Structure 1
Amino acid sequence: MKNIISIIKFTVLIVILFAVIYPLTILAIAQFAPNQGKGETISVNGKVVGYQKIGQKFDKVNYFWGRPSAVDYNAAGSAGSNKGPSNADYLAQVQKRIDTFLVVHPYLKKSEIPADMVTASGSGLDPNISPQGALIQVKRVADARKLPEEKVKQLVEKMSNKPKVMGTETVNVLELNIALDQLK
């Protein structure tokens, strides 16, 4: 009986520590983080439209598309596909993405499609694509919006994020699409 009471006391202590005190401590610390720990949001006209570091699904022809997502852009389930380049299912999935991409971009050859446009990132939530991935979509987006291709191309170049020291150049798809909506 003495052991049972000790175990119950210990269990209550652990529950209070990890279910109450720890979360409240993390919440208090988050208040000092940018945006009070709610993430780096992007707002348009005072309305939050997305997060800077989390990819979103764009599949309309008048918007730039981001990387495919192994988790269908579900931020609660961040994960890669865990399938390697020798996996037949993975290869079939990539081929299906290539075929779909080529249907909407008939002016391209398969060899012109950057890998980031047909393969998911490790997290499945990458908000960025390569400038090449954006540039090959310029014709489709410009045609859909009845804009000059050169104007849309200049926007992509303007929205490209160059690395400060090392790394690769990227384009945030959500920020690019917001800027695209603001073009006249």
Structure 2
Amino acid sequence: MVKPGLRWQIVFTLIFIMVSTSFLIGLVVMSVTKKTIVNQKIEDAIFLRNAFQNCINALAYGDDDFYHNKEKNWQMQRLLQLFSLESGVENILIIDLTGNVIASSDPHLIGTSLHDQNLNEVITAAPASLELSQDKGTLFKETNKKLSFFSPFYFKNQKAGAMRITLSLGEMQAVINKSYK
């Protein structure tokens, strides 16, 4: 067997370095792309929260009992159902200060007591927070299924509970997986 010369060793080493570099650059670009899309989803959640908050304040204008009156809760529930139709929204949930579900895009949860650590933290003192669910992936590939945004819920400028908006990241993950195959 012929032993390769120094020139061929240099060529193979350079090819290996170029392939490795392009692979690592691809990983960095994929990570930056994913972060940018997640940041956009966070902005979408904040926009939805602010829009919902403003709509509730407009519905309740002049009616101080609106939030606590269960007979008027159907208006909040209907509004929440409309917001849930937005593209990428999986679930929206509102609880009061005691943890009871006031409105939800899943009607079976209304009236039940929900014990969610993130929502309870938002009610007590913490500002808005995020939770990014991740499935186990390989060493270089992790999949994110959904992003949950937790925020205080205000009524007449007073904290009245907490709100969770869950956005799907499945579409984003499919695009990233397809573009980096």
TM-score (norm. length: structure 2): 0.26
By percentage of residues, which structure has more strand? 2
Larger gyration radius, structure 1 or structure 2: 2
TM-score (norm. length: structure 1): 0.26
